[in-house]
Amino acid sequence: MKLSAYASLVIVSCLASGAFAQSRLLVAEKGAQSLAIIDPGSGKVLASVPEGGITGHEVIASADGKLAFVPVYGNSGVGSPGTDGTNIAVIDIASRKVTGNIAFDHGIRPHCPMIGPKDKLLYVTTELDQTITIIDPKTLKIIGTLPTGQPQSHMLALSHDGRRAYTANVGPGTVSVIDIAARKVLKVIPVSGNTQRISISPDDKWVFTADQTKPQMAVIDTTTNTVAKWIPMEGIGYGSAPTPDGRWLLVALPDQNKVAVIDLKTMQVARTVAVGNYPQEIIVRPDGKSAYISCEKADSVDEIDATTWKVTRTIQTGKYADGLAWAGQ
């Protein structure tokens, strides 16, 4: 069917005005107390939205891709003295403005936010209370908590079936396994003297966390809730993310300025990719074609082609790029 000049103009106008949803890459600019909103197509930083003067380390987008939730942790590292964050900034991605706030009644150091894969609720680690707080992202109201049974429950992974939560408990060096429906701890798994970050395989069979005392990844069998395997690496690991097809696990190696690519069939490092200074967090695009790695000391995010394993682009951001999230399809 041939379109009239008017109809063609309307379609072009709608596309240009953003009437159709566009994906965005979100980056917590830890050193600038702001959130970068990036067009992943052009690699352009569209805006750096101030969070209110205190540092947010992590970010997640709502299920519909319209809002970004940035827990305001404070100005310290985990387990160290400093300010204790009391809120979560809510940012409208389209208007690039803070439009809401989720306040706690005391210092709680909220940190890692996740969206429930089934219920679409917002889950956030609330470290000083040894809990995960559950929030309705539509009303911005707190509707419950999950216990972790451990201090320093810093990072969180949710199973894709919506049944389990797993926290990396830094100082204790453990992982808590939590039944979401029953709201109780099923098991605390000893891992090492200190552990950081956590991720889960797409089939929910494996949970991964990085040993901070030795250059190795712990692989937890979610059936037995025990450490089933150790994967040696050339440096201490940090953030990790699996590819959507479950074939690869990408792990940041901050002191090596590399990303390790682990073959999940063999549970061995297949290759490493050189990236910018001090890589922190990794996300893989929903289509699995590219991965993004925040490089804290380079103030940038590197984009890696997940077929060639080459860095295809470096996106300059604000100071101390850290937490990453994807908004849209």
For the segment 276-312, what is each residue's pLDDT rounded down to a tens digit? Answer: 999 999 999 999 999 999 999 999 999 999 999 999 9
- Domain assignment of residue 313, given as a range: 22-327
- Number of domains present in the structure of the chain: 1
Q: Report pLDDT for 12.
A: 37
Q: What is the CATH number of the domain that holds 146?
A: 2.130.10.10
Quick check: is 14 in a domain? no
Quick check: is 33 in a domain? yes
Quick check: is 157 in a domain? yes
Read off the pLDDT of each residue in 20-42 and give the average, rounded to a whole number: 91
Q: Report pLDDT for 54.
A: 80
Dihedral sign computed on CA atoms, order 207, 212, 214, 215 = positive
Quick check: is 58 in a domain? yes
Q: Report pLDDT for 5.
A: 40
CB burial of 34-60 (b: ≥16 within 10 Å; e: otherwise) equals bbbbbebeeeebebbbebeebbbbbbb
Q: How far apart are CA 320 and CA 315, in angstroms?
A: 13
Quick check: is 12 in a domain? no
What confidence category does residue 329 fall into, taking pLDDT thresholds of 50, 70 and 90? confident
Quick check: is 8 in a domain? no
What's CA 251's distance to the chain center, in Å? 13
Longest dimension (CA), the chain: 69
Q: How far apart are CA 45 and CA 100, in angstroms?
A: 22
Average pLDDT over the chain, rounded to an integer: 93
Quick check: is 195 in a domain? yes
3-state secondary structure the chain: CCCCHHHHHHHHHHHHHCCCCCCEEEEEECCCCEEEEEECCCCEEEEEEECCCCCECCCEECCCCCEEEEEECCCCCCCCCCCCCCEEEEEECCCCEEEEEEECCCCCCEEEEEECCCCCCEEEEEHHHCEEEEEECCCCEEEEEEECCCCCEEEEEECCCCCEEEEEECCCCEEEEEECCCCEEEEEEECCCCEEEEEECCCCCEEEEEECCCCEEEEEECCCCEEEEEEECCCCCCCEEECCCCCEEEEEEHHHCEEEEEECCCCEEEEEEECCCCEEEEEECCCCCEEEEEEHHHCEEEEEECCCCCEEEEEECCCCEEEEEEECC
| pTM of the predicted structure, to 2 decimals | 0.93
Which token pair is 317?
Answer: 């951001």
Quick check: is 72 in a domain? yes
What confidence category does residue 52 fall into, taking pLDDT thresholds of 50, 70 and 90? confident
